[in-house]
Amino acid sequence: MEYKGCSPGESVLVDQACEKVLTELECDFVGLALQNTDGPDVKWHYAAGNSNEKYKRITVRYGKGIAGKVISTGRPMYVDNFPENIAGKALEYPIMLAEGLKHAYAVPIHFNGVPKGVLLIGNRSEQPISESRQSTARDAARTLEKKLNG
């Protein structure tokens, strides 16, 4: 079963929030992944700036992929100059491959203090994600957290 935390109205709000992050951070892609309510798998639910619909079908296991790793560790993760500077194989980063991202920064989203989601910002261009943009992404994650926690 998939995450069912949002009503259709709330979904629109989350979509809008992703679009806002995309504009504010001037990045190429914004995605929101959430852990399923009745299992450990993590699925990409919302995106802005996406180049295709592949993200909707991507599910990663807890601890796998960027989303699974960020949720399992509860810490942000920066992927710089993909696939050059990565730990493991490029195939272990499905969202980077699906969206053709070169740089990405992912922040955990907490529900009742437990990491259950991930906000990811990414660039397809050679433009790395600066420390100030990373900080803004963390702030955006906190705002989104409040929205999702209702």
Q: Classify the C-alpha dihedral 44-47-51-52 as positive or negative.
A: positive
CA 42 to chain centroid:
10
Candidates 8-16, 21-29, 87-95, 105-113 — which segment interacts with another protein by CB under 8 A?
87-95
CA distances from 29 to 6, 38, 72, 103 (A): 22, 28, 23, 10
- When asked if residue 98 is in the footprint of another protein (CB under 8 A), the reply is yes
Which of these ranges, 6-14, 21-29, 49-57, 120-128, lies near another protein under the rule CB under 8 A?
49-57
Q: Does 79 bind another protein (CB under 8 A)?
A: no
Q: Is 60 near another protein (CB under 8 A)?
A: yes
Tell me: does residue 56 bind another protein (CB under 8 A).
yes
Which of 31, 49, 68, 94 forms a contact with another protein (CB under 8 A)? 94
Q: Which residues contact 105 (CB under 8 A, 6 or more apart)?
A: 76, 77, 78, 79, 120, 121, 122, 129, 133, 134, 137
Cα 134 to Cα 148: distance, rounded to the nearest angstrom: 21
1 contributes a contact to another protein by CB under 8 A: no
Q: Which of 53, 84, 87, 146 binds another protein (CB under 8 A)?
A: 53
Q: Which of 84, 91, 113, 126 binds another protein (CB under 8 A)?
A: 91
Residue where the block lists tokens 């994600």? 129
Q: Can residue 54 be called a binding residue for another protein (CB under 8 A)? A: yes
Binding site for another protein (CB under 8 A): 40, 52-63, 90-91, 94, 97-98, 100
